[in-house]
Amino acid sequence: MSRKPTARKITNMSLKLQPVRGTHDILPEEARRRRALSDSLRSVFATYGYGEIATPVFEFTDVFHRTLGDTSDVVTKETYTFTDRGGESLTLRPEFTASVVRALISNSLTQELPFKVFYEGPAFRYERPQKGRLRQFHQIGAELLGAAEPVADVEMIAMAAQGLEALGLKDMVTLELNSLGDIESRKAYRGALVAYFSDYRAQLSEDSKLRLEKNPLRILDSKDEGDRKLVASAPRMNEHFTAPASEFFAEVTESLTALGVAYRVNPAIVRGLDYYSHTVFEFVTDKLGAQGTVLAGGRYDGLVATMGGPDIAGVGFAAGIERLLALMETVGSDKVVLARPIAVAAQSDAQEREALKLAQELRAQGVAVELLTKGNMGKKFKRAEKLGAYGVFILGKQEVAEGKVAFKVMDSGEQQSVARSAVLAVLPK
């Protein structure tokens, strides 16, 4: 009598292995596009004197929770936080800036300023996945620590603009700019916001009622429709600028104009955390639906001190690689032109080893080679055609005996015999 399959067996048979929701596999074609994007931006960063930094993908939870704020959506709803086997609370990085500052402090680099670095890699947030927003996403960005002058903000924005231009996106994005003023300005503005929103407390969302008590600037970021209506008539930051704050912003805008970097002032751009000050900016597009911000940055002069380091100024930006790629696709600037490979094929098993040796010799000279090993010669030629090969080196019994190789150019079909020692001469430069 046959036994019924167990529940475990049924479950295993029906199991469908899929990537976790909000993640995806980066296959070779997309990987090439990402590498081209990365290479373009890295080239721009190098012209500004930025070196690469790579921080761990997870940190002690305080690195992010203390810096992002207990009332932020990132901390309250979106971080991947877990306790490891040693009882430590760890968090997968939701952004890079805090990690870079932690690296500056823990590696005792606060005396080696300015500290100019760029980074690239994955970050993690538990959000509702949609086009341009994943739970494991990738960022590329830059940070400049130890420069308090307006020219640092201008340089950072100019570098970002040049990077977007290098990706073919100059005409697809708009630079939006705002200032949060200095500490005195923010204190005055905070008081004005508390007074204003307190009059409408009953109409605020539950999240914004909490923000009103802890950090009223966060109300300006609210996505709640009722909150947005109240925000439209709220006091403006520039109404509370001190003279130094006004002068700082004027220097930034005038310098951008002098460099030919177009911008528009958008008072709605804010950063709710106390360590942010002065310039904040975003490069936005109307080509990606709701996910319109492709690059964002700003000045965070109080962050290093907040994390236990000295009082060191900072400014930086980050861009979402997935959003940049999506935008590049709309204008066709994501296309990667690969060098056509050369194929090597043996006519029979007896010549396979000679074919392998020739392939390795060519690769040692920097030639991209595909060794064709499956099927008869007809199938091998079809494979070479599918690969887009420029030509095929063919090794038969007679060629090997005479120290020669047959070479067929795929586009024209022309075939010639060449000496084994002269194979490089028939290849395109």
Segment 127-136 mean pLDDT: 80
pLDDT digits (tens, 9 = 90+) for 202-227: 999 998 998 888 888 888 878 889 99
Alpha carbon 63 to chain centroid, angstroms: 21
What is the CA angle 296-297-300, rounded to 5?
155
> What residue has token string 């010549």?
351
Q: Which residue has the higher pLDDT, 123 or 71?
A: 123
| 247-304 pLDDT tens trace | 999 999 999 999 999 999 998 888 867 788 999 999 999 988 777 899 999 999 989 9
* pLDDT tens readout for residues 385-394: 999 999 999 9
Q: What is the value of pTM for the model shown?
A: 0.85
In this prediction, residue 299 carries a pLDDT of 96
Q: Is the pLDDT of residue 13 over 60?
A: no
Q: What superfamily in CATH does domain 342-426 come from?
A: Anticodon-binding domain (3.40.50.800)
pLDDT score recorded for residue 40: 96
* Angle of the 150-166 helix axis to the 243-259 helix axis, nearest 10: 30
Distance CA(329)–CA(169), nearest Å, equals 10
The residue-averaged pLDDT of 50-59 equals 97
Tell me the average pLDDT across 19-27: 93
Q: Which residue has the higher pLDDT, 127 or 382?
A: 382
CA distance 324 to 287: 11
Give residue limits of the domains in the chain.
Answer: 28-182+242-331, 342-426
Residues in a beta bridge with 139: 121, 320
Residue 14 has a pLDDT of 52
CB–CB of 37/295 below 8 Å?
no
**What secondary structure, in 3-state letters, does the chain show?**
CCCCCCHHHHHHHHCCCCCCCCCCCCCHHHHHHHHHHHHHHHHHHHHCCCEECCCCCEEEHHHHHHHHCCCCHHHHHHCCEEECCCCCEEEECCCCHHHHHHHHHHCCCCCCCCEEEEEEEEEECCCCCECCECCEEEEEEEEEECCCCHHHHHHHHHHHHHHHHHCCCHHHCEEEEEECCCHHHHHHHHHHHHHHHHCCHHHCCHHHHHHHHHCHHHHHHCCCHHHHHHHHCCCCHHHHCCHHHHHHHHHHHHHHHHHCCCCEECCCCCCCCCCCCCEEEEEECCCCCCCCEEEEEEECCCHHHHCCCCCCCEEEEEEEHHHHHHHHHHHCCCCCCCCCCEEEEECCHHHHHHHHHHHHHHHHCCCCEEEECCCCHHHHHHHHHHHCCCEEEEECHHHHHHCEEEEEECCCCCEEEEEHHHHHHHCCC
> Tell me, which fold does domain 28-182+242-331 have in CATH?
BirA Bifunctional Protein; domain 2 (3.30.930)
Contacts of 111 (CB under 8 A, 6+ apart): none
Tell me the percentage of the chain whose pLDDT exceeds 90: 75
Does residue 349 surpass a pLDDT of 50? yes
Q: Which of 11-20, 282-291, 368-377 has the lowest mean pLDDT?
A: 11-20
How much is the average pLDDT of 134-148?
96
pLDDT at 69: 61
On average, the pLDDT of the chain sits at: 90
